[in-house]
């Protein structure tokens, strides 16, 4: 999965007029080529097809290469590739995911890495919970957010005790992205057990953002 080939495919659909508003939406933290998601997915079909035959090591090497590139669309492709092939990642690759979460960090890449990659790995190997335990108590906002969101796709398999515990550990956090993540994770679990979420939120102190997000559909 050579990066040069990916760049060629992305440049073929880049729209310079779309780049400024895309950069503005991300608070001008990153440069953009001006490729929206549907066009990006069409342009990267060959890369995604190639990735299906790659090993876990090759996948994370490719993702790191995507993170090295300047334009944000490359990081999006890195997330796409890892998310679509998480079944070939191994427990040891969580360290690579952690590196990606903490590099060029913003919600647009972190959330996909958390829900698909972290969640996929922890669901298979519960010994990795020791890592999300470390993240939730650490100083890195994006690792803490990843710990909160990693069960987002688990549905009925969600460990509610852990979700509630992580939520309480960061309930007093002043960081918007933590407060929002707690509410989002609780709202998602409310699809499975609405009464448990309602009781949990109404019997503990949470920020307004968290409460609104968690109770949005209840």
Confidence of residue 177 (pLDDT cuts 50, 70, 90): very high
The pLDDT assigned to 88 comes to 98
Domains and CATH numbers, the chain: 3-154 (1.25.10.90)
The pLDDT assigned to 197 comes to 99
Q: Is the pLDDT of residue 66 over 90?
A: yes
The pLDDT assigned to 60 comes to 99
Q: Is the pLDDT of residue 178 over 90?
A: yes
Q: Is the pLDDT of residue 103 over 80?
A: yes
Confidence of residue 1 (pLDDT cuts 50, 70, 90): confident
| Percentage of the chain modeled with pLDDT above 70 | 100
Q: Is the pLDDT of residue 76 over 90?
A: yes
The pLDDT assigned to 146 comes to 99
Three-class HEC string of the chain:
CCHHHHHHHHHCCCCCCCHHHHHHHCCCCCECCCCCHHHHHHHCHHHHHHHCCCCHHHHHHHHHHHHHCCEHHHHHHHHHHHHHCHHHCCHHHHHHHHHHHCCCCCHHHHHHHHHHHHHHHHHHCHHHHHHHHHHHCCCCHHHHHHHHHCCCCCHHHCCHHHHHHHHHHCCCCCCHHHHHHHHHHHHHHHCCCHHHHHHHHHCCCCCHHHHHHHCCCC
The pLDDT assigned to 89 comes to 99
The pLDDT assigned to 90 comes to 99
Confidence (pTM): 0.96
């Amino acid at each position: 999965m050579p990066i040069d080939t990916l760049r060629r495919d992305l440049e073929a659909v880049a729209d310079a007029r779309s780049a400024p508003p895309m950069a503005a939406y991300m608070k001008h933290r990153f440069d953009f080529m001006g490729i929206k998601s549907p066009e990006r997915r069409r342009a990267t079909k060959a890369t995604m097809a190639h990735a299906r035959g790659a090993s876990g090591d090759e996948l994370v090497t490719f993702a790191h290469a995507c993170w090295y590139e300047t334009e944000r669309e490359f990081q999006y492709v890195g997330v796409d590739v890892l998310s679509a092939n998480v079944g070939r990642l191994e427990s040891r690759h969580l360290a690579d995911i952690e590196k990606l979460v903490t590099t060029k960090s913003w919600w647009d890449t972190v959330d996909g890495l958390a829900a698909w990659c972290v969640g996929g790995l922890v669901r298979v190997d519960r010994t990795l919970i020791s890592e999300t335990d470390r993240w939730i108590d650490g100083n890195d906002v994006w690792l803490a957010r990843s710990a909160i969101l990693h069960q987002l796709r688990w549905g009925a398999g969600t460990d509610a005790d852990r979700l509630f515990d992580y939520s309480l550990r960061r309930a007093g956090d002043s960081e918007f992205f933590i407060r929002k993540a707690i509410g989002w994770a609780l709202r998602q679990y409310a699809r499975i057990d609405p009464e448990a979420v309602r009781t949990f939120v109404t019997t503990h102190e949470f920020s307004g953002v968290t409460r609104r997000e968690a109770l949005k559909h209840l």
